Amino acid sequence: MEIPYVVNPRKDTGLFNSKIAIWLFLASEVMLFGGLFSGYVFLRLGADYPWPERTLPVLPGLINTFVLIASSVTVVFAWASLKLRKWGAFKLYMGVTVGCAALFMVLKGIEYNVKFHHQALRLDDYTVIEGHLAYEKENGTYVVDHHGNKIEGNRIRVETSGLTFNSVRFHKSWVEDLLAQAAHRNTRITLATDLAGATTEGGPVEVLAKAGEPLSVELLERVQAAHLAARAHNAALRTADLRAKWADAKAANPGKRDWEFASDVNIDTAALAPKLLTEHSSVAFKVEPPVRFEFRPRDIREAATQSRLRDDTVVDGTLLASPMVFHHVDAIDFRHLAMKAVEKGQDPMKAIEDSWLIRNHAFAREAWQWHQGEVAKLEQQLTDDYGIDPQTGKPRREPTAKERYRIGWKEFALKAEQAGGVSLGFADKIKEEFMGPNYAARGEETFPHLEVPRDEIRFAAKFTPAWNTYYAIYFTITGLHGLHVIGGALVLAYYLFFCRRLYETNPEWLANRVEVAGLFWHFVDLVWIFAFPIFYLM
């Protein structure tokens, strides 16, 4: 079938059909991104925490903006080259466009990756701490999970003496992880008692597994199979019995409604008992000798003597101190704490002095004192530069809440440099703009070590959509925009690599196709023109 009006315009619209189509699509895209941006405004106006303004590194965003604008210019030139029938020029311009798209996505990928590995933590008193977690170490070597991956220093530790698995819901990979931890700590997880019961109707009691049998996924699966078979068998017996009882009752009560005699229709449990098979809904194991097992915080609901995993495994044992261990703290933020203090009518500076972090950690006290010196310098400079407002008697310009209450990684770096510590070269500093602070080079004298007791933690997350609504809407809009970049680049790359024959047979058609894809590409650029200042500069 030939598609009509792909080269020549239709008489009534004056346009070739694909142009109408792409504009309809772009109108719907305008509404989609418009809705998301209005969602951003809604979240920002309604935020009950200090909005993290100007929090993203500007340089990668700026470069990405330049890259996208450049690609928008080259895609127009690619189209113009086709119109002028210059295939070589078209290939060059389109190649640059697709290259720009790839560069954009690489930079975006680095930006996302840094966030996914950066830890944020809100304490009970609303102090926010940011940094990198340590990896668990024992006797100088890293502890690894059963996949061989290093374990982050953010675990709930239980001195475990017993484990009871739910034989239906147990999560295989966690069982393997427990086995790996048991092997690492030289303990044995063995079945606490004989698992015995009837496996055939009216049959003898059989031993499914003997006490002392070591824990394995295979054993749990065996119990699971027996349990599910028994459960299905027993349920079928009960159903059949109940059906028979109903039939009898209906025959005995002619003319009556079901509800009038329903309370008399019951399963005869005693008569059924000998025919039932033994169900094993849970399997208890003991851990000998008791050792420390570690669990991800999101997987366990911990309590003093008995904890529970998300797969219903019951962990018997004493809860141990389970601090969250920062290898490197790279920011301390008192904005939220100050906001809460003001809401309660308290003095924010007093509240900060009384915070858990300042009271318990010398490095934090020292950093805070140094920071106040810097704020005083800034205040003085602003007063010198802009003067005092004669009407109010206050300085015309004052430091922002962020400048007053947040000690970011650049401040930590500056403090260490002033103290004669590590100072990096220009190239390394540019690299830090993309990859975040260079912990290895700057070391612990710049970014200190910190252990936070579990009791002090209100909420913890990586810099993912989970952390706050700012990151949620940031990842939603930039992620969707990134998908548009990928989709657009695939179409443009198709024209670049697979349309030589179309160019030779019907160049005007190809030009129209490139124009339509170009319209989409400009729209993608247009979204970024708004996304960049809104997320990076406001």
Partner 1 sequence: MADTADDIRKSVRSYLLVGAVLFIGTAVTVLVATVPWLDVGRHGFDVWDAVLGLAIAATKATLVAAVFMHLNHEKKGVYWIFASGLVFVIALFGLVGLAKFDPIHDPFFNDGPPAPSVLENSASGG
C-beta of 430: minimal distance to partner 1 in Å? 16
The reply on whether position 399 binds partner 1 by CB under 8 A is yes
Q: Which residue, 34 or 109, is less far from partner 1 as judged by CB?
A: 34
Q: Count CA atoms closer than 13 A to 408's CA, side-chain side.
A: 13
The reply on whether position 385 binds partner 1 by CB under 8 A is yes
Among 4, 42, 47, 418, binds partner 1 (CB under 8 A): 42
Omega before 289 cis (within 30°)? yes
Q: Give the H/E segment covering residue 357.
A: helix 356-360
Looking at residue 121, its amino acid is L
C-beta of 30: minimal distance to partner 1 in Å? 4
C-beta of 339: minimal distance to partner 1 in Å? 13
C-beta of 65: minimal distance to partner 1 in Å? 5
Q: Interacting stretch for partner 1, rule CB under 8 A, among 165-173, 394-402, 473-481, 498-506?
A: 394-402
Written as one string, the DSSP assignment of 17-80 is: HHHHHHHHHHHHHHHHHHHHHHHHHHHHHH-SS---TT-S-HHHHHHHHHHHHHHHHHHHHHHH
Burial of 461 (0-12, 13-18, 19+ CB in 10 A): middle
d(CA 225, CA 220): 9
Tell me if 61 sits within 8 A of 485, measured CB to CB.
no
The reply on whether position 347 binds partner 1 by CB under 8 A is no
Q: Which residue, 471 or 521, is less far from partner 1 as judged by CB?
A: 521
Q: Which residue, 194 or 398, is less far from partner 1 as judged by CB?
A: 398
Q: Which residue, 24 or 205, is less far from partner 1 as judged by CB?
A: 24
The reply on whether position 114 binds partner 1 by CB under 8 A is no
Tokens of residue 445, six digits: 């004298």
Contacts for 6 with CB less than 8 Å, ≥ 6 apart: 16, 17, 18, 509, 512
Among 4, 23, 269, 342, binds partner 1 (CB under 8 A): 23
The reply on whether position 403 binds partner 1 by CB under 8 A is yes
The reply on whether position 402 binds partner 1 by CB under 8 A is yes
Q: Which residue, 30 or 207, is less far from partner 1 as judged by CB?
A: 30
Whose tokens are 């109940």? That residue is 242
Give per-residue burial for 191-230: e unless 16+ CB within 10 Å, then b.
bbeebebbbeeeeeeeebbeeeeebeeebbebbbebbeeb
Looking at residue 288, its amino acid is E
The reply on whether position 525 binds partner 1 by CB under 8 A is yes
d(CA 447, CA 328): 5
Looking at residue 162, its amino acid is G
* SS (HEC) of 386-408: HCECCCCCCECCCCCHHHHHEEC
Among 66, 142, 494, 497, binds partner 1 (CB under 8 A): 66
- Which sign does the torsion angle of CA 347, 331, 469, 45 carry? positive
d(CA 153, CA 296): 10
The reply on whether position 480 binds partner 1 by CB under 8 A is no
The reply on whether position 453 binds partner 1 by CB under 8 A is no
Query: Minimal CA–CA distance to 524: which of 108, 176, 83, 181?
Result: 108
Q: Interacting stretch for partner 1, rule CB under 8 A, among 23-31, 322-330, 417-425, 463-471?
A: 23-31
C-beta of 522: minimal distance to partner 1 in Å? 5
Site size with partner 1, rule: CB under 8 A: 58
Footprint (CB under 8 A) of partner 1, residues 71-90: 72-73, 76-77, 80, 83-84
Q: Which residue, 19 or 118, is less far from partner 1 as judged by CB?
A: 19
Q: Which residue, 6 or 70, is less far from partner 1 as judged by CB?
A: 70
The reply on whether position 57 binds partner 1 by CB under 8 A is no
The reply on whether position 38 binds partner 1 by CB under 8 A is yes
Q: Interacting stretch for partner 1, rule CB under 8 A, among 8-16, 221-229, 355-363, 471-479?
A: 8-16
Among 4, 8, 20, 240, binds partner 1 (CB under 8 A): 20
Q: Which residue, 73 or 424, is less far from partner 1 as judged by CB?
A: 73
- Residues engaged in binding partner 1 (CB under 8 A): 13-15, 19-20, 23-24, 26-28, 30-31, 34-35, 37-38, 41-42, 45-46, 53-54, 58, 62, 65-66, 69-70, 72-73, 76-77, 80, 83-84, 345, 382, 385-386, 397-400, 402-403, 518-519, 522-523, 525-526, 529-530, 532-534, 537-538
